[in-house]
Amino acid sequence: MPALTTTSDGFLLHGRPLRIISGAMHYFRIHPDLWADRLHKARLMGLNTVETYVPWNLHQPDPDGPVVLDGILDLPRYLELARAEGLHVLLRPGPFICAEWDGGGLPSWLTADPDIRLRSSDPRFTGAIDRYLDLLLPPLLPHLAASGGPVIAVQVENEYGAYGDDTAYLTHLHQAFRSRGVQELLFTCDQAIPEHQANGS
């Protein structure tokens, strides 16, 4: 059971009411030497949660190479600093992140294929996602709430309802996270338009 659950009018964390007061703090846009300072200032502002995207194109610049998790991309360290500061984290790994980020974070080696159907159940696309998650998620699992970490929820895709309605794709992502050990609450983010919410959920 996930640490964060929903009620008719809010959230419970480990069975206790939680009001999420969150702000965006993207680790890959901040020098690592400043992470602790910025997280501390976020808590002093009154936040109890930070959210961050995870840019696929930075973490896996080479389709056959390892996932990069050092320097400005040391996401495990960022998550540990958030925990030390007493902040919860909403993790938004995409695979498409928007974020005013080039290509929504999709790697150039993937988007260069003119035949691939991006953000769909095209097995070439979902296969690439699966290979990426196989590498990305194991180092992050200790930082999920189920293991005592700060990550209380994980977003699936981003504003997908404004883009498509491939339910098989969203189902694949749901199963991809669950089968790799993500027990936390999964959520989507869509505009408050009924059609978008229906297509993106």
| Structure confidence by residue, pLDDT tens digits, 80-136 | 999 999 999 999 999 999 999 999 999 999 999 999 999 999 999 999 999 999 999
Residue 140: inside a domain: yes
Residue 193 pLDDT greater than 90, yes or no:
no
Residue 65: inside a domain: yes
Residue 17: inside a domain: no
User: Number of folded domains in the chain?
Assistant: 1
Distance CA 182, CA 167 (A): 20
Q: What is the mean pLDDT of the chain?
A: 96
Q: Which CATH number characterizes residue 195's domain? A: 3.20.20.80
Alpha helices in the chain (DSSP H): 35-44, 56-59, 75-84, 108-111, 123-140, 167-179, 194-200
Name which of 182, 79, 96 is nearest 138 in CA terms.
182
Percent of the chain with pLDDT over 70: 100
The tokens for 151 are 């990550």
Residue 118: inside a domain: yes
The domain containing residue 93 runs over which residues? 22-200
Residue 196: inside a domain: yes
